[in-house]
Amino acid sequence: MVSSFRAMQAGLNPAAVTRRVVSALRSATASKKASRGTVLSWALYDAGNSLWPMTITLYVALWFIDDHNVREVIYGTVYSSSLVVVALVSPVLGAVSDRYGRRLPFLMLFTGVAVVAMSLISVGENLTLSLFFFALAMFTFQSALLYYDALLDAVADEESRGRISGLGVAMGYTGTVVGVLLLVPFVQLGGRGWAFLPTGLLYLSLSLPCFLFVKERFREPWRWSYIIEGYQRVFQTLREARRHANVFRYLVARLFYIDAITTVTVFVATYTVKVLDFTDDMNRALFLVGAIFAVVGAFVYGRVVDWIGPKRTLVLVLAQWAVVIIAGASTVYPASLCAIGVLS
């Protein structure tokens, strides 16, 4: 317990977090493909986009369900529907991007729309419109991630991909920690709804270095026919499903485990407030504990990927999540949830 408490104190020290990031950056940027500045610019986007899931967990769900009495089933349906749309169109979006040979234009477009949508959720008193902006923010945010992940190829070679990916995840959790602290004054001043606009502006600000300094090789000019060709590629892939059996098995498996993790992260704050009588301050503390230790875990698992490969690493991570979910559902004590949060 003492060692864990000291580790949490070290994680709360900004200088300690900075040293971890700088150390990882130095080792990760051994890549021959990109400079340190390019890698850092790419990773800063992860720091920005991590703010939106954090805001959903801590504020958006409670703003709808607790502050405005939207039923959980309605909120959950809107959230799930936006993800279903993403699942249906993302293969085409990916195929269009592959045909065009570029990711950044799509990343900029979807990020821009996501920033606007998340900033408008609490504007006005029409809850239907708020739910629409929330769904739009979810769709465009998830679509942007598709291109951000694919952009890794522009900053990393095969040898350094795991370490640089780990750096991005670590920067994401670091952005989460900083974002939680920065949003506190806004929430205390105007309530949970005041967190949405600052989240959008911070997301945009941390995305700009990626937009400006990560470079792609321009292959071909844009043609609208790429959209039709994207659909054709998807249908061709489906027809050749047997040749890609491992990929399809992975996608089906991913659907199940991502669904479980997403459900927990989206509704955990609602559960703790309504069932365990947590305050927003207690939820922030719980979230910070998990995020701080996740910074360390990102560096560790980045190395593990390079060491034992992605599949075995994924199995380890999913086993850890299973322990977290089962243990979290089995306790009603705040201190125990904080301890469990270390593993999340």
pLDDT string in tens for the chain (344-residue length) = 333 333 333 333 333 333 334 434 444 444 445 677 888 888 899 999 989 988 988 999 999 999 999 999 999 999 989 988 888 888 777 777 776 677 888 899 999 999 999 999 999 889 999 999 999 999 999 999 888 888 887 777 666 766 777 777 778 878 888 888 999 999 999 999 999 999 999 999 999 999 998 887 766 666 656 666 666 676 676 676 677 777 777 777 877 888 788 788 788 888 888 888 888 888 888 888 877 777 677 677 777 877 888 888 888 888 888 888 888 777 776 767 766 666 65
Q: What burial class does residue 339 get, using C-beta atoms within 10 Å of its C-beta: 0-12 exposed, 13-18 middle, 19+ buried?
A: middle
Phi-psi group of 69: left, alpha or beta (phi > 0 → left; psi -120 to 50 → alpha; rest → beta): left
Cα separation of 131 and 218, whole Å? 38
Give this prediction's pTM.
0.76
What is the Cα 170 distance to its own chain's centre?
11
Cα separation of 325 and 275, whole Å? 16
Cα separation of 79 and 83, whole Å? 7
DSSP one-letter code for 69: -
324 closest CA partner among 264, 250, 258, 276? 264
What is the Cα 191 distance to its own chain's centre?
24
How far separated are the first and last CA of the chain, in Å rounded?
A: 17
* Residue type, position 279, single letter: T
Cβ(50)–Cβ(172) under 8 Å?
Answer: yes
Cα separation of 70 and 63, whole Å? 9
Q: What burial class does residue 274 get, using C-beta atoms within 10 Å of its C-beta: 0-12 exposed, 13-18 middle, 19+ buried?
A: middle
Within a 10 A sphere around the Cβ of 317, how many other Cβ atoms? 15
Cα separation of 304 and 312, whole Å? 9
